[in-house]
């Protein structure tokens, strides 16, 4: 998108709108190509306006330039322990929350469940099931786990396929499972956004063919697993199912579901598999930045419906966006809790 300034955009948009409103007189005078180009300009100007407007609203009177310069720029020559992985991150964790180029400042301490609850009168989840409520202090402690430093080396460990190639260590593991392209790698990428570790993400489904291990100091490891569904690797059951069946240190599997599409047929198969393996897991709805409140509510309710029929699924689904960072601090706190690195009151 071109770098327009706000006032010139506004003027441009008004001028083009005016022209198009009188299109009955303008259109016959223009060839189709010129007319389409004018129309495209208007669409681009409008989307830029929406973007700038969102930035202004979210930055809450802070100058936009400041938010942008505060963002962490990943330089391409940074040492990467995972070759070929593209930097996809445009956000940074600030003292007061995540800051994204597009979405502005995201509050660290509120749970996105409360945001969708505000659209409906009835409670969308019972108090009994909505049990993971970390304090601000819990969230700050959990965030520290994901910041590299002395004694907290965060690194890409290895990619593996067969059981004999899996890394050996005595750390709890968190496994990320979900359909191809649902956003598993992006989620790990934002969790590790304070580090130099690069996690490859892709627009085309099925790029993660191996199990990728990321070590978080002496605390735990995160495992990105190949996706199921479209372009599923032939070795899927040999690698993923073997991994889940054999690893004793998997303390929680994060079942990633698209927040826009809700629970799919493939997801139900995966939920059944996790139930069969009797592995404790939790549903994480991702891409919530893309879902309108009504869609997100529908996806959330569909996740709850399935959760209620299960035995090993944690009662409270998590909602996250790897683009805006919303819900990420809550998830970091949950990871801290399930790996035994964080005590949370009431749990």
Judged by the rule CB under 6 A, the positions of this chain that interact with ligand GDP are 178, 180-186, 201-203, 208, 227, 286-287, 289-290, 321-323
Decide: residue 121, CB within 10 A, 0-12 exposed, 13-18 middle, 19+ buried. Answer: exposed
Distances (CA, A) of 340 to 14, 224, 248: 57, 20, 15
Which tokens in the block code for residue 100? 């994204």
Q: Which is nearer to ligand GDP, 188 or 216 (CB)?
A: 188
Whole-number minimum distance, CB 19 to ligand GDP, in Å?
Answer: 33
Whole-number minimum distance, CB 100 to ligand GDP, in Å?
Answer: 10
CB 311 within 8 Å of CB 101: no
Q: Which is nearer to ligand GDP, 67 or 201 (CB)?
A: 201
Q: Which is nearer to ligand GDP, 141 or 185 (CB)?
A: 185
Q: Which is nearer to ligand GDP, 138 or 186 (CB)?
A: 186
Query: Which residue's CB comes closest to ligand GDP?
Result: 183
How do beta strands 97-100 and 91-94 pair? antiparallel
Q: How far apart are CA 69 and CA 92, in angstroms?
A: 11
Whole-number minimum distance, CB 176 to ligand GDP, in Å?
Answer: 8
Q: Where are the alpha helices (DSSP H) in 118-264?
A: 136-145, 184-191, 236, 242-246
Distances (CA, A) of 160 to 223, 231, 232, 249, 260: 10, 19, 16, 17, 31
Q: How far apart are CA 66 and CA 150, in angstroms?
A: 30
Q: Would you report the helix, strand and coil content of the chain in percent, each value rounded to 5?
A: 40, 15, 45
Q: Which is nearer to ligand GDP, 144 or 290 (CB)?
A: 290
Q: What angle do CA 167, 172, 178 make, to 5 degrees?
A: 80
Q: Which is nearer to ligand GDP, 184 or 252 (CB)?
A: 184
Whole-number minimum distance, CB 223 to ligand GDP, in Å?
Answer: 12
Whole-number minimum distance, CB 31 to ligand GDP, in Å?
Answer: 36
Whole-number minimum distance, CB 187 to ligand GDP, in Å?
Answer: 7
């Amino acid at each position: 998108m071109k770098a327009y300034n706000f006032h010139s955009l506004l003027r441009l948009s008004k001028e083009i709108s005016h022209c198009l409103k009188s299109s009955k007189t303008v259109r016959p005078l223009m060839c189709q190509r010129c007319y389409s180009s004018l129309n495209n300009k208007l669409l681009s100007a409008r989307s830029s306006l929406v973007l700038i407007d969102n930035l202004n609203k979210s930055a809450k009177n802070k100058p936009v330039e400041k938010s942008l310069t505060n963002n962490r720029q990943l330089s391409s020559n940074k040492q990467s322990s995972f070759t070929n992985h593209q930097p996809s991150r445009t956000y940074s964790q600030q003292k007061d929350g995540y800051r994204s180029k597009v979405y502005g400042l995201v509050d660290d301490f509120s749970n996105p469940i409360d945001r969708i609850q505000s659209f409906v009168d009835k409670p969308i989840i019972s108090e009994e099931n909505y049990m993971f409520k970390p304090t601000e202090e819990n969230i700050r402690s959990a965030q520290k786990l994901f910041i590299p430093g002395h004694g907290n080396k965060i690194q890409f460990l290895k990619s593996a396929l067969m059981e004999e190639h899996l890394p050996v260590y005595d750390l709890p593991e968190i496994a990320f499972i979900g359909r191809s392209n649902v956003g598993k790698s992006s989620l790990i990428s934002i969790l590790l956004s304070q580090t130099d570790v690069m996690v490859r993400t892709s627009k085309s489904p099925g790029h993660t063919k191996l199990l990728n291990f990321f070590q978080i100091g002496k605390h735990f490891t995160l495992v990105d697993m190949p996706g199921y569904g479209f372009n599923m690797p032939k070795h899927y059951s040999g690698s993923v199912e073997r991994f889940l069946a054999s690893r004793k240190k998997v303390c929680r599997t994060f079942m990633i579901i698209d927040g826009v599409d809700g629970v799919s047929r493939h997801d139900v198969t995966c939920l059944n598999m996790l139930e069969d393996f009797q592995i404790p897991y939790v549903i994480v709805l991702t891409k919530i930045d893309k879902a309108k409140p009504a869609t997100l509510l529908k996806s959330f309710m569909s996740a709850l419906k399935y959760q209620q029929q299960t035995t090993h699924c944690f009662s409270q689904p998590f909602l996250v966006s790897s683009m805006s960072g919303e819900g990420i601090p809550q998830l970091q706190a949950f990871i801290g809790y399930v790996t035994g690195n964080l005590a949370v009151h009431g749990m």
